[in-house]
Amino acid sequence: MFPPTTKILVVDDMPTIRDLVKNQLRAMGFKNIVEAADGEVALNTVISQAAAGTPIELIVSDWNMPKMTGLEFLKQIRASDQFAKLPFILLTSESERDQVTEAIMAGVSQYVVKPFAAKAFEEKLKGVWAKVSAAG
């Protein structure tokens, strides 16, 4: 599993969902959580944190957001040599499930369909960690 010190960026335009995700991450032992209200702010956060020497190590992003969707944000991250391997989990609603193939093609590490149970979310995180660890 990701170490408790992992710097995690939680991205969602709804503060209640951000709080829900942050609370679940804290319940799993994570302490270093940053948040952003949309993909545009999130992209700037990833860039500025890396420049400050405190890089984001995992992204948990909503799909449907104003300014820049989670999928557009994912594509921006994957297009950058610096961030191409950054673990990225996309939160999606049931109605977007058919679009998940596009996210997989864009290089998403994992996706979680909302609403989700804490245990299912933790299992997805473990799966992403296993992929990251295997890739070295």
Q: Tell me the average confidence (pLDDT) per consecutive run of 10 residues in the chain, 136 residues long.
A: 97 96 97 97 98 98 95 97 97 79 94 91 96 88
Can you give the pLDDT at residue 69? 95
Q: Amino acid letter at 91?
A: L
Cα–Cα distance for residue pair 85/94, rounded to 1 Å: 27
Element at 125 (helix H, strand E): helix 118-135
Can you give the pLDDT at residue 107? 96
Domain count, the chain: 1
Global pTM value: 0.96
Q: Is residue 1 part of a domain?
A: no
Can you give the pLDDT at residue 99? 84
Q: What CATH number did the domain enclosing 93 receive?
A: 3.40.50.2300
Can you give the pLDDT at residue 52? 98
Can you give the pLDDT at residue 44? 98
Across the beta sheet with 110-114, what order do the strands follow? 33-36, 8-11, 58-62, 88-93, 110-114
Q: Is residue 81 part of a domain?
A: yes
Q: Is residue 112 part of a domain?
A: yes
Can you give the pLDDT at residue 93? 84
Q: Is residue 28 part of a domain?
A: yes
